[in-house]
Chain A
Amino acid sequence: MTVLSYMDAITLAMKEEMERDERVFILGEDVGVKGGVFKATQGLYEQFGEERVIDTPLAESAIVGVGVGAAMYGLRPIAEMQFADFIMPAVNQIISEASKIRYRSDNDWSCPMVIRAPFGGGVHGALYHSQSVEAVFANQPGLKIVIPSTPYDAKGLLKAAIRDDDPVLFFEHKRAYRLIKDDVPDDDYTIEIGKADVKREGEDVTVITYGLCVHFALQAAERLEKDGIDVHILDLRTIYPLDQEAIIKAAKKTGKVLLITEDTKEGSVMSEVAAIIAEYALFDLDAPIKRLAGPDVPAMPYAPTMEKFFMMNPEKVEQAIRELAEF
Chain B
Amino acid sequence: MTENRHAVSGLSDEDVLNMYRTMLLARRIDERMWLLNRAGKIPFVISCQGQEATQVGAAFALDQKKDYIAPYYRDLAVVLHFGMTTKELMLSAFAKAEDPNSGGKQMPGHFGQKKNRIITGSSPVTTQVPHAVGVALAGKMQKKDFVTFVTLGEGSSNQGDFHEGANFAGVHKLPVIIMIENNRYAISVPLKKQFACEKLSDRAAGYGMPGVTVNGDDPIEVYKAVKEAADRAREGKGPSLIETVCYRLTAHSSDDDQRQYRSEEDLAEGRAHDPVKSFANYLKELNILTPEIEEKFQNDIMAEIDEATEYAEQAPYAAPEHALKYVYAEQEEL
Which residues of A approach B to under 8 Å, CB–CB? 25, 51-52, 54, 56-57, 59, 61-62, 64-75, 77, 89, 92-93, 96-97, 100-110, 141-142, 144, 164-166
Contact partner of A59 among B120, B124, B164, CB < 8 A? B164
Contacts between the two chains (Cβ within 8 Å), count = 142
Q: In the complex the two chains form, is B326's CB within 8 Å of A103's CB? A: yes
Nearest CB of chain A from residue B41's CB, rounded to whole Å: 22
Contact A68 to B110, CB < 8 A, known contacts A57-B164, A89-B160: no
A110 to B129, CA, bound (A): 17
CB <8 Å contact, A61 and B164: yes
Q: Please, how many angstroms separate the alpha-carbon atoms of A66 and B325 in the complex? A: 26
- Closest Cβ–Cβ distance, residue A58 to chain B (whole Å): 10
Which of B106, B131, B141 has the most C-beta atoms of chain A within 10 angstroms of its own C-beta? B131
Query: Is B327 touching A73 in the complex (CB atoms < 8 A)?
Result: no
B110, B138, B160 — most chain A CB neighbours (10 Å): B138
Which residues on A sit within 8 Å (CB–CB) of B141? 25, 51-52, 70, 75
A166 in contact with B329 (CB, 8 Å) = yes
**A-side contacts of B123, CB under 8 Å:** 96
- Inter-chain contacts of A101 with B (CB < 8 A): 120
Q: How far is the CA of A51 from the CA of B138 in the complex (A)?
A: 10
Distance from B126 Cβ to chain A, minimum over Cβ atoms (Å):
9
- In the bound complex, do residue A104 and residue B106 qualify as a contact, i.e. CB atoms below 8 Å apart? yes
Chain B, range 83-122, C-beta contacts under 8 Å to A: 99-103, 105-106, 110, 112-114, 119-120, 122
Query: Beyond A59-B167, A102-B326, is A69–B132 a contact (Cβ under 8 Å)?
Result: yes
**Beyond A103-B326, A104-B105, A110-B329, is A72–B135 a contact (Cβ under 8 Å)?**
yes
Name the 7 nearest CB pairs between A and B, nearest first: A69-B134, A65-B130, A106-B103, A62-B164, A69-B131, A165-B329, A73-B138
Report the minimal beta-carbon distance from A313 to chain B, rounded to whole angstroms: 36
Residue of A nearest to B171 (CB): A57
Q: Is the CB of B130 within 8 A of A142?
A: no
Contact of B100 among A56, A73, A108, A141 (CB under 8 A): A108
Q: Which of B102, B119, B172 contacts A72 (CB 8 A)?
A: B119
Report the nearest B residue to A64, measured CB to CB.
B130
